[in-house]
Amino acid sequence: MQLSRCLLSLRPRSGEQVPPLTAQVARASNPGGTTAIWVRDRLAGLWRDEDFADW
């Protein structure tokens, strides 16, 4: 089996925020939180898209 190499390209999204209504609904429907909410609350802003440009 031969594996082909595929490049992945994502659009930069630095500074993108979760819309306030989306955040409100997510927290209301998950009062105990979720892993994604926990990660975003604690790590948001720690890295920028530019930090991974060379990857």
Task: Please say if the pLDDT value at position 5 is more than 80.
Answer: no
Quick check: is 27 in a domain? Answer: yes
Residue 53's pLDDT is what?
Answer: 77
32 Cβ neighbours under 8 A, 6+ residues apart = none
pLDDT band at residue 15 under the 50/70/90 scheme: low
Work out how many domains the chain is built from and give that number: 1
Quick check: is 10 in a domain? Answer: no
Tokens 């999204």 belong to: 13
User: What pLDDT, in 10s, does the model give residues 16-55?
Assistant: 788 999 999 999 999 999 999 998 889 887 887 778 778 7
Quick check: is 38 in a domain? Answer: yes
Average pLDDT, rounded, for the chain? 82
Quick check: is 37 in a domain? Answer: yes
> Distance (Å, rounded) from C-alpha 47 to C-alpha 49?
7
Quick check: is 28 in a domain? Answer: yes
- Structural domain for 40, as ranges: 20-44
Quick check: is 30 in a domain? Answer: yes
